[in-house]
């Protein structure tokens, strides 16, 4: 693993978000002068928390209030992924995510309307299984002049015309990139699931190395997708992850592998495997099994075995990722093979990572089980 020191980490973070305060664009900010891209774990391991609230105890989650923004924390995101199909059985996956990062704990001040305390980034991706195609794009903006932000009644999160909103118990989203356009309505079918210790998700040894984290693990989804090859009326299921915090990761955490899986028997599984610089899994890896009967079981690092299977090398970046995974929870009698629907689902913007739609096959006890979902892999190097 090619690791850089804390000084370079700080330069990368300040450089990226400093540029965001100067302009907004669909063109990604340029990496540092050494030709290196920005790494997600470097941003989340930042330790300058002066003036910000840190996550250090279980929250009193309240909805719909906590669907909205939490500006007292440095970083937060709304993360939606889903697996969809049309009436002919054509399959698609999608990702729409919004990230807010505060440059300072102080309110924006000054005579110019362009002053802003928050930088925003959004990612949009569509997997077209039949065409073996992956479309992705990103946007950046400052949180001012109505360019990007979160709030209002009903709640809306937006970056220009990419938008996610919550109204009357349901979520809605819309995003367009050229000829690719997605519009969806999402209705939760299970209650929000608090991750970690009643919503406090510890990710490191130091006090405050944690986030407030909940999921909407299963949302019935309907809408339309326009592609250059046609327009499709779609149905399926989506997953929303919602997190906010200030200093989330230990400095020796170099990446993670995150699984969000819908099983056909109605169970939902989320697990993130934090990877240390020596390649081992962090003791703070965690997850939940949300059963079809409404019960939820918290998963600790020792409960879940994750084994990477084979390897896929990106022809664009040279990065090497696991080509599939074997995931098991022995105490639950669960063993799953998690396989990407197509290999090339790598996001190659200012941040580089693999995130895409996966199929699931395996066993729970003596019964066969299938499913689908999303897998994210970060921190892999050339």
The tens digit of pLDDT for each residue in 255-278 reads 999 999 999 999 999 999 999 988
Confidence of residue 64 (pLDDT cuts 50, 70, 90): very high
SS3 content of the chain, % helix, strand, coil (to 5): 10, 55, 40
Could you please report the per-residue DSSP string of 224-245? EEEETTEEEEEEEEEEEEEEEE
For the ranges 22-26, 49-53, 135-139, 329-333, which has the lowest average pLDDT? 22-26
Confidence of residue 32 (pLDDT cuts 50, 70, 90): very low
- Structural domains in the chain plus CATH codes: 6-55+64-377 (2.40.370.10)
CB 92 within 8 Å of CB 232: yes
Q: Distance between CA atoms of 300 and 298, rounded to whole angstroms?
A: 7
DSSP letter at 103?
S
pLDDT at residue 39 tops 60: no
Confidence of residue 248 (pLDDT cuts 50, 70, 90): confident
Q: Which tokens in the block code for residue 270?
A: 């989320």
Q: Distance between CA atoms of 172 and 126, rounded to whole angstroms?
A: 17
Does the model's pTM come out above 0.85? yes
What is the chain's mean pLDDT, rounded? 88
pLDDT at residue 95 tops 70: yes
- State phi, psi for 67 to the nearest 5 degrees: -70, -25
CB 138 within 8 Å of CB 97: no
Confidence of residue 11 (pLDDT cuts 50, 70, 90): very low
Could you please report the per-residue DSSP string of 160-228? TTEEEEEETTEEEEEEEETTEEEEEEEEESS--EE-TBTTEEE-SSSTTBEEEEEEEEEEEEEEEEEET
For the ranges 243-257, 278-292, 325-339, which has the lowest average pLDDT? 243-257
Mean of pLDDT values over 82-101:
97
């Amino acid at each position: 693993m090619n690791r850089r020191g804390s000084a370079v980490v700080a330069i990368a973070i300040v450089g990226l978000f400093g540029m965001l305060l100067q302009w907004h664009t669909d063109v990604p900010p340029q990496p540092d002068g050494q030709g290196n891209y920005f790494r997600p774990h470097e941003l989340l391991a930042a330790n300058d928390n002066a003036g910000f609230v840190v996550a250090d105890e279980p929250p009193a989650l309240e909805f719909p209030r906590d669907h909205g923004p939490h500006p007292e924390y440095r970083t937060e995101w709304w993360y939606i992924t889903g697996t969809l199909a049309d009436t002919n059985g054509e399959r698609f996956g999608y990702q729409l995510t919004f990230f807010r990062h505060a440059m300072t704990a102080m309110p924006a001040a000054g005579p110019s309307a362009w002053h802003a305390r928050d930088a925003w980034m959004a990612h949009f991706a569509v997997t077209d299984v039949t065409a073996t195609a992956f479309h992705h794009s990103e946007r950046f903006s400052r949180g001012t002049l109505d360019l990007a932000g979160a709030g209002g009644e009903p709640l809306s999160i937006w970056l220009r015309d990419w938008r996610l909103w919550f109204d009357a118990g349901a979520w809605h989203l819309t995003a367009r990139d050229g000829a690719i356009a997605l519009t969806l309505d999402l209705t939760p079918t299970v209650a929000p699931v608090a991750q970690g210790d009643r919503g406090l998700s510890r990710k490191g040894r130091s006090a405050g190395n944690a986030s407030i984290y909940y999921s909407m693990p299963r949302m019935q989804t309907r809408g339309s997708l326009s592609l250059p090859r046609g327009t499709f009326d779609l149905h399926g299921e989506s997953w929303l992850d919602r997190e906010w915090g200030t200093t989330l990761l230990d400095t020796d955490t170099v990446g993670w592998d995150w699984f969000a899986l819908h099983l056909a028997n109605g169970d939902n599984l989320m697990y993130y495997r934090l990877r240390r610089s020596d390649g081992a899994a962090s003791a703070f890896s965690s997850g939940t099994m949300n059963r079809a009967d409404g019960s939820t079981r918290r998963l600790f690092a020792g409960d879940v075995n994750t084994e990477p299977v084979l390897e896929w090398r990106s022809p664009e970046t040279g990065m090497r990722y696991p080509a599939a995974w074997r995931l098991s929870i022995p105490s639950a009698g669960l063993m799953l093979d998690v396989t990407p629907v197509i290999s090339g689902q790598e996001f190659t913007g200012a941040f580089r990572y693999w995130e895409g739609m996966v199929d699931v096959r395996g066993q729970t006890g003596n019964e066969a089980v299938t499913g689908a979902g999303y897998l994210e892999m970060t921190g892999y190097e050339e």
